[in-house]
Structure 1
Amino acid sequence: MTRRSKTKLGYNDRHAKSGITAPLPDIETFPNQYKGYEITIEIPEYTAICPKTGLPDFGTITIHYMPDKDCLELKSLKMYIHAYRNLGIFYENSVNRVLQDVVTACRPVWAKVTGTFAARGGLRSVIEARYP
């Protein structure tokens, strides 16, 4: 028996997959000079668009990682995050996409991306994705 996802209110696969393969700016890196330490980057001005309603989403993205050979370069990370501003993408997908792109860019020892999204309709979401 296969499990089929149930959709309500007109949500469909197009909405669910929105933004996950959209082209975004590259996140640049620079060579790490030390081992065994952690970096936390907090981005309090994250914005994107709900792929169903077209309404803006606001939140804070926190990237916490242990670098291996490379560290994330912050200006390129800022440009990468700003590219979400006009992108239709669900919270869950954006957090997982950021993690995927961070891991691709710098191949950290480990990484965690947390999205803390502003309350809408009385609900606030916190999404967390980890590597490995």
Structure 2
Amino acid sequence: MSDETIYSGLTQLGRATALPQSPEEAVLERVANPQAGVRYTVRFTQPEFTSLCPMTGQPDFAHLVIDYVPAAWLVESKSLKLYLGAFRNHGAFHEDCTVSIGLKLAELLQPEWLRIGGYWYPRGGMPIDVFYQTGPAPADIWIPDQGVPTYRGRG
């Protein structure tokens, strides 16, 4: 019997791992999808995402929702949390943060389909929502609404 499992190559799970200083330094890990023959949707919600304004250095806050239909790979969730946390010291506009995360995950996982919604809290009185997806949503699989209401302020 072998000690090798789909989890054997992971370097962060089950170990003390410091928060990376930047997204470039972060290591996103993947594992083989043990249900690769089944089509289903995975959702990650990060309601306290933080990055920095590249011009002022002030913090920006967002509620991120990531949905994907996996193929051969799943993202390992601890590595995803550390990757997203690495943005807290990273200066970039909302659009760049949101789309960069979507592109990085799509490249790593090669999913059947992926989308990310970045629901950014107001800066200068204006909220910015950013959406990216890899293509049309599969019509034959349940993909729920992201459930984040449009910003209404006091309205």
Q: Name the TM tier (shorter chain).
A: 0.7 to 0.9
Partner letter of residue 32 of structure 1?
N
Shift of 1:61: 1.3
Residue number in structure 1 paired with 2:50: 47
| Aligned-pair CA distance for 1:31 | 1.1
Task: Answer 1 or 2: higher relative contact order, Cα 8 Å, separation at least 6.
Answer: 1
Structure 2 distance, partners of 1:123, 1:84, is 21
**SS of corresponding position for 1:88:** coil
Match of 2:141 in 1: none
Query: Aligned-pair RMSD on alpha carbons?
Result: 1.2
- Cα deviation digits, residues 44-85 of structure 1 (max 9, x gap): 111000001111100111110000001111000000001000
Unaligned runs of 5+ in 1: 1-21
- Cα distance in 1 between the residues matched to 2:106 and 2:55: 28
Determine which of 38, 43, 53 is the counterpart of 2:41.
38
- TM-score, normalised via structure 1 length: 0.80
1:107 matches 2:110: yes
1:23 counterpart residue number = 24
Matches of 1:24 and 1:51 in 2, distance apart? 18
1:4 corresponds in structure 2 to: none
Could you say which structure has the higher helix fraction? 1
2:86 aligned partner: 83
**Seq. identity, %:** 31
Count of residue pairs brought into register by the alignment: 111
Following superposition, the deviation at residue 24 of structure 1 comes to: 3.5
Task: Give me the whole-angstrom Cα distance separating, in 1, the residues matched to 2:112 and 2:87.
Answer: 26
TM-score (norm 2): 0.68
